[in-house]
């Protein structure tokens, strides 16, 4: 088993011949979109080209995504073999994804399995909790637990069991726990930098080639709300 934190590049959490795992900052986009802003894929291709003096086009495949205002660990594949195998692992849910979220209310109960049915509204780019059986709705499942409490903010750990559009944001909002800064899902105010306080904290998976157990921890953002809790005691 290997556990990884920060590596040679400030944002690189893990890198070998097949995989590159990066600590995405809130505001970065993993793929190109209508804004025309430079995506992480382009920046990382440049990083690989320069670091390894690679001629021609650099291969880099995106294994999974994070929303633009979300931070944390994102997996990229440096080979087509790794991309094919990691994509299959995403589909069969064999990559364990754990998030931390700062929310505005203490959940009741303090730990639980949440199951909802979500339907995406394309024009609003938002997912809504709907009744089971609603046309176009998809089952969404996550487990959460309270890690720490502050005066007005609370730190939750979330194990994501399905990968629906805006799933954590929508399900926590339905619980009455709005993610700090997430105006779209009911937060009272935005964060000055446009982020929301949702962070992809841990990844755990079997390496697609070496078959080793890989565990990755993404350091928390510098924003002050992440550092009001005593997280040193958390696993």
CA distance 77 to 84: 9
Tell me if the bond preceding 109 is cis, omega within 30° of 0: yes
Of residues 16, 33, 37, 67, which has the active-site annotation?
Answer: 67
CA distance 33 to 48: 22
The phi and psi torsions of 57 (rounded to 5 degrees) equal -75, 135
Show the CA angle centred on residue 29, arms to residues 217 and 9, nearest 5°: 45
CA distance 79 to 65: 18
User: Distance between alpha carbon 80 and the CA centroid of its chain, in Å?
Assistant: 23
230 is catalytic: no
Which residues are known catalytic residues? 67
């Amino acid at each position: 088993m290997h556990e990884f934190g920060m590596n040679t590049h400030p944002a690189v959490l893990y890198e070998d011949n097949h995989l590159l795992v990066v600590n995405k900052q809130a505001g970065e986009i993993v793929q190109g979109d209508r804004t025309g802003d430079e995506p992480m894929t382009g920046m990382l291709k440049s990083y690989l080209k320069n670091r390894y003096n690679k001629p021609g086009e650099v291969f880099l495949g995106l294994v999974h995504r994070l929303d633009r205002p979300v931070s944390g660990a994102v997996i990229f594949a440096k080979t087509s073999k790794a991309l094919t195998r990691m994509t299959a692992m995403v589909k069969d849910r064999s990559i364990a994804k754990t998030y931390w979220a700062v929310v505005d209310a203490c959940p009741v109960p303090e730990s639980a399995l949440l199951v909802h049915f979500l339907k995406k509204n394309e024009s609003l780019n938002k997912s809504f909790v709907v009744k089971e059986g609603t046309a176009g709705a998809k089952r969404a499942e996550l487990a959460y637990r309270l890690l720490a409490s502050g005066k007005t903010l609370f730190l939750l750990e979330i194990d994501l069991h399905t990968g629906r559009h805006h799933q954590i944001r929508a399900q926590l909002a339905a619980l009455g726990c709005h993610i700090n800064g997430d105006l779209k899902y009911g937060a009272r105010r935005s964060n000055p930098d446009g982020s929301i306080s949702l962070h992809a904290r841990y990844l755990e998976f079997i390496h697609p080639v070496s078959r080793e157990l890989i565990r990755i921890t993404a350091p928390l953002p510098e924003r002050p709300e992440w550092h009001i809790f005593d997280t040193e005691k958390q696993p």
